[in-house]
């Protein structure tokens, strides 16, 4: 497991069929905390972020780690009135491929802020930190995670903040079976994220 990660119980059904997803909800001081467990793979965090985006849930923070052969992630969202049955339906639909979050994300017609992606080499020894600044819109975390998954990179945590109309999101990114990225890979990741966010994104109806 990653540093600071706690042990999370893996349901028997997920142990038998790692392609399934288990979602648990708990109230938090600022909304709802979702704990998600599934078989570990590249793109898992993008799928989770996509399922949240489909539901228009605003992500405050997220962290992820590997536990044995399973991927565990914990997500804090702003909404305190999350319908657990709908959440499970959306996750099952996204993980089974019946719903494509990308189809719900469309370019925004007007953007006031050019996406900025900075590599913070000094911020962590175990991962590469990407600081993303973009117009605040639903679906940004999903778009970033999807772009990184396309490069076969793992997102270990995401820290989301909003400053007025601007989203300032920080992603800790690592190679799947290694740690921090090389300078070349970090530049490739920054370019891919910047391209994915230009123009900024919002959810379609």
Mean pLDDT split into 10-residue runs, the chain, 205 residues = 71 96 94 96 93 90 90 93 94 93 70 84 90 86 94 90 81 89 96 85 55
State pTM to two decimals. Answer: 0.86
Which residues are CB-neighbours of 130 under 8 A, at least 6 positions away? Answer: 117, 118, 119, 120, 144, 170, 171, 173, 186, 189, 190, 193
Identify which of 49, 15, 67 has the alpha carbon closest to the alpha carbon of residue 158: 49
Nearest to 146 by CA among 17, 28, 58, 45: 45
Q: Calculate helix-pair angle for 44-54, 84-95, nearest 10 degrees.
A: 130
105 touches 123 (CB < 8 A): no
**Separation between Cα atoms, residue 148 and residue 193, nearest integer Å:** 7
Q: Kindly tell me the burial class for residue 125, based on how many C-beta atoms sit within 10 Å of its own C-beta (0-12, 13-18, 19 or more).
A: exposed
């Amino acid at each position: 497991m990653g540093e600071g990660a706690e042990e999370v119980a893996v349901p028997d059904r997920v142990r038998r069929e790692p392609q399934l997803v288990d979602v648990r909800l708990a109230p938090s001081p600022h909304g709802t905390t979702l704990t998600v467990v599934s078989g570990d793979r590249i793109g898992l965090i993008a799928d989770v972020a996509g399922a949240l985006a489909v539901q228009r849930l605003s992500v405050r923070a997220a962290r992820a780690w590997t536990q044995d052969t399973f991927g565990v992630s914990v997500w804090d969202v702003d909404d305190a009135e999350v319908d657990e049955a709908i959440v499970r339906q959306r996750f099952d639909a996204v993980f089974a491929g019946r719903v494509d979050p990308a189809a719900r994300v469309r370019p925004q017609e007007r953007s006031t802020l050019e996406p900025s992606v900075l590599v913070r080499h000094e911020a962590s020894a175990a991962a590469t930190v990407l600081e993303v600044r973009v117009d605040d819109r639903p679906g940004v975390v999903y778009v970033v995670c999807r772009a990184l998954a396309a490069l076969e990179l793992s997102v270990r945590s995401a820290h989301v903040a909003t400053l007025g109309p601007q989203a300032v999101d920080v992603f800790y990114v690592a190679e799947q079976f290694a740690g921090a990225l090389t300078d070349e890979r970090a530049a490739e990741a920054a370019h891919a994220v910047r391209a994915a966010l230009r123009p900024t994104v919002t959810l379609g109806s």
